[in-house]
Structure 1
Amino acid sequence: MHRFFIDQSTEVDASVIISGNDYNHLKNSLRLNIGDRVILSDGDGFDMEAEIIDFNENEAELKVLTKEKSKVEAELRVWLAQGLPKKSKMDLIVEKATEIGFAGLIPLASKRTIVKYNHKKKAKKLSRWHRVAEAAAKQSGRSVIPEIKEFYSTDNLKNLKEEFDYVLLLWEDEKKYSIKQFFKENNVDAEAKVLLIIGPEGGFSEAEVNQLKAEMDAIIITLGPRILRTETAGITALTAILYEKGELGDQDD
């Protein structure tokens, strides 16, 4: 069934109104009719099956038939602080990270960041990345749209330290300490909040790594001997973290 996100929490038998772009998509693109059913997600992890009961001018009215907690969302909440890449690479990162199951994005500027955005450009980018995350969440059957935070830099990322239980920093100069080793040495709670920091093209300077270690208690990790592109590194590390925590299917003991 087709999925729509709503900005309200509601119960069985309640009516829900869909308007705006979602109405246009439902009525004109999907050509759904009265009696057709869709999935509504409230952004808090609940999915509702709903039936279209009426069309008004620029609005569709639906009745909620069932409501249940989504089984799709990962308990482990992994955020990605992604060094700003060139061109449209961040679109790909947001899309794939949403499909895999990340909780949100922190666009991160660092000393080796090539792209520079003014205030207006930042607002446009944040809006675009939210739309990418929403589309990917619908496609992958998620019940929550990952959050897109404001832009941060390696100098002020420390302001978010208290929001996370663990901070992992992927660095090409780290040769031994892996994600698997991290999980062996730490009893990570099922609902822990993890920040994964990825550098831009060119990576982080040693000074920045030391700064993040000191200010964020960042744990430096490696993905092995091969150097990955920035748009590959975060997606790969996210997948490995969720796999190690059993969020990508059952694992043998």
Structure 2
Amino acid sequence: MQRYFLKDDLTDYQKQTISITGENFHHMVKVMRMKVDHRVFLVTKNQQAFIAEISAINEKEVLLNWVEDDNREQELPVNVTIASGLPKGDKLDLIIQKGTELGASAFIPFSGAFSITKWDAKKAAKKVERLQKIAQEAAEQSHRTKVPMVQSLVSVKQLIELSEEYDTCLVAYEESAKVGEDQNFVKGLKKLSAGGKLLIVFGPEGGLSKEEIDAFIKNGFLPCALGPRILRTETAPLYALSAISYHFELLHK
């Protein structure tokens, strides 16, 4: 069944008739060609998922009624934010799409010293809006109960300031494995408990400069390697999220 995210909490959703308009209406009627009695998953703003059945289709709205709650746990037990140094081309699209499927809670693009790509300040808001739409579509496809937030572009200094909001902060650094820091990734995960907030920083194609790494470490970030192989900037976040899922969702089952 198709999944749609609602903008409201709908605290009485089990008893009220639910109205769908706008983009979701268009997708249901024009793209999916849904009819009366078709069922979909709906997710409220407070992350309650449930199955609803279409009771009527009007010119500009679809009306639905609650059928049953969907109480399956679809989210990672910890909140993971991926900070990506601006990569070339459409690699950030891929990171956000696949990162959403793998359970990331938020994404922060940042301008690194070795970032070749630069964002025009006038167009940055539109870029974030488009990336947010990618995240929403990926969240619908992967049956998430939460759409990850794509934050505005920040500098390394601003990223370090934001790190105060997190329980654990890691920075992926390919040189770490050479100096005995290949276990720091696991150490960082072991510091987290359910509901904890984790920030992981990944450099752009050229990596992070020594000055950037020094600044991160000075401010409490733990440098870590992600296995023995060198990963591309678009691969590393997906590796990390997969490992986090294994550690928190599969290892102790």
The two structures have a TM-score, normalised by structure 2, of: 0.92
Partner of 2:4: 4
Distance in 2 (alpha carbons) for counterparts of 1:166 and 1:44: 25
Distance 1:126 1:69 in 2: 31
Matches within 5 A, 1:99-118: 99-118=101-120
Take 1:155 and 1:183, find their aligned partners in 2: how far apart are those partners? 22
Q: How does 1:85-100 map to 2 (within 5 A)?
A: 85-100=87-102
Q: Is there any run of 5+ residues in structure 2 with no aligned partner, and where?
A: none
Contact 2:184/2:222 (8 A) holds in 1: no
Matching of residue 206 in structure 1 with residue 210 in structure 2: yes
Decide which of 216, 234, 237 is 2:237's aligned counterpart. Answer: 234
Task: Percent identity, please.
Answer: 34
| RMSD (Å), alpha carbons | 1.7
Offset at 1:70? 4.3
Q: Whole-Å Cα distance in 2 between the matches of residues 252 and 80 of structure 1?
A: 24
**How far apart are the structure 1 equivalents of 2:47 and 2:198?**
19
SS of 1:107 mapped into structure 2: strand
Shift of 1:244: 1.7
Q: Which residue type is aligned with residue 21 of structure 2? A: S
Give the aligned partner of residue 187 of structure 2: 182
Alpha-carbon contact 1:179-1:241 (below 8 Å) kept: no
What is the CA-CA distance between 1:224 and the residue it aligns to?
A: 2.6
Per the TM alignment, residue 65 of structure 1 is displaced from its structure 2 partner at its CA by 2.4
Give the structure 1 partner of residue 155 of structure 2.
153
In 2, Cα distance between equivalents of 1:180 and 1:210: 18
How many residue pairs align between the two structures? 248
Query: How far has the Cα of 1:108 moved from its partner?
Result: 1.1
Aligned-partner residue type, residue 232 of structure 1: T
Q: Does 2:198 match 1:194?
A: yes
Alpha-carbon distance change, 26 to 209 in structure 1, aligned in 2, over 3 angstroms: same
Question: Quick one: which amino acid aligns to residue 124 of structure 1?
Answer: K
Alignment of 1:18-167 (within 5 A): 18-167=20-169
